[in-house]
Amino acid sequence: MGGGMTIVERTQVFLLPDLGEGLSEAEIVEWRVAVGDVVTVDQSVVEVETAKAVVDVPCPYAGRVVTLHGAAGEVRPVGQPLITIAPLDGGDEPTGHATYREEERAGSGNVLIGYGTGHGGATRRRRRPRLAVAPEPADVGPAAGAVTEASGDPTRSPAALVISPIVRRLAREHGVDLDTVRGTGPGGVIRRADVEAALSAPAARLAAVPDPQVGSAPVGDGDVIVPLTGVRKVIADKLSRSRREIPEVTIWVDVDATGLLETRAAINAATPDAPVSILALLARICLSGLRRFPQLNARVDTEGQRIIQSAGVHLGIAAQTDRGLLVPVLRDAQRLTTAELAAELAATTAAARAGSLPPARLTGGTFTLNNYGVFGVDGSTPIINHPEAALLGVGRIVDKPWVVDGQLAVRKVTQLSLTFDHRVCDGGVAGGFLRHVADCVERPALLIAAV
């Protein structure tokens, strides 16, 4: 055989690939195949959830499924076995293996078509205890090779079956006695979801007080424990880093948005098949402002002691989802027309809420627009989406008394808040940007004149 092909035990083990963006683990959401199924090269075999998105993982091998390493709800570290495939004819390697190995050696990172990085050669794969998911529920028994926490005490109840070190760590950090947790995995294996269910149960009793050395406060009876994991942990880490590193300042102004609403109504009346949202118009106004004040479309490189102004505007849109606050990014948004902005915003926010955006779409922003007015609030002091340098927040649009040509009138009023990194500019630039945005909201004709 040529092409650098290697066979180990006449099977091929596909490891959970590098999903990028510093992600080190993923939770199995749903297997697309079962033991005994026949798969083709690049067929999607499992849906996994990372801290940033839900993605389908294709397998680079063709053949018959021998083992599924892990059950739904279990967390798998990157680089650990995910699925084992055997050749259909029991002879040569499955079709497509040579291509996979050659592309892997070349450093391919296209995990969305099944080519991960960092696997290493098949001959160097480590032998670890693994969970074989049986094809039929009736065949499920104690997991072979499962790590147990037996105490050696014959009077004690059977020890908990724990395979994932992440599950063990989660239980230890929150003082959960694994012997009291009912495992729902094959053979009674305890999964992360089981520990989290025990933590969230109203009548949950913690077997141990968290170690005071880690700075945890005592937990009282009836307290609800919410593990800081997944997306919530990523959000917490990023916001904490932003506040820790960025000397931010927030300025704000009330504006009369009546003209903007009238402009939107006129556009949609003229193009009913391609409606434009207020958010799309605000995005267009932000892009106009950033063209005038590019200092805000930047980031600070602390190690290089320099400010990097981005050539393109990669516009982040804050979106509240069931998995937490996400900021999907529209790359090179300045190249889009207003109608294209509206369509892309609608599609992107819908995909973010559905959890179907790849991790790459959730990073790399250079400026963020946050419409927190949808929550019925007037204003806020937003935290900058690190490592960006600025964020524009928009409050709700409500009827308020407003002076127009010396006369009191009822107008549609909103508050705009700009939070900016004082290292990239001074108040003059930030005030100039916010004033330009406010003027365009009040008199949309200025936006057309600036295009």
Catalytically annotated residue among 69, 314, 422, 436: 422
Number of DSSP helices (H) and strands (E) in the chain, helices first: 9, 21
Question: Rounded distance, CA 120 to CA 48, Å?
Answer: 22
- Indicate if 174 belongs to the active site: no
Q: 150-179 burial, b for 16+ CB within 10 Å, e for fewer? A: eeeeeeeeeebbbbbebbbebbeebbbebe
68 burial level (CB within 10 Å; 0-12, 13-18, 19+): buried
Does residue 52 contact residue 359 with C-beta atoms inside 8 Å? Answer: yes
Per DSSP, 8 falls in state B
DSSP string, 207-219: SSPPPGGGTPPPP
Nearest Cα to Cα of residue 17 among 166, 167, 120, 87? 120
Handedness of CA 105, 106, 109, 115 (dihedral sign): negative
And the tokens for 20? Answer: 């990028």
Does residue 394 contact residue 283 with C-beta atoms inside 8 Å? Answer: no
Residues tagged active-site: 422
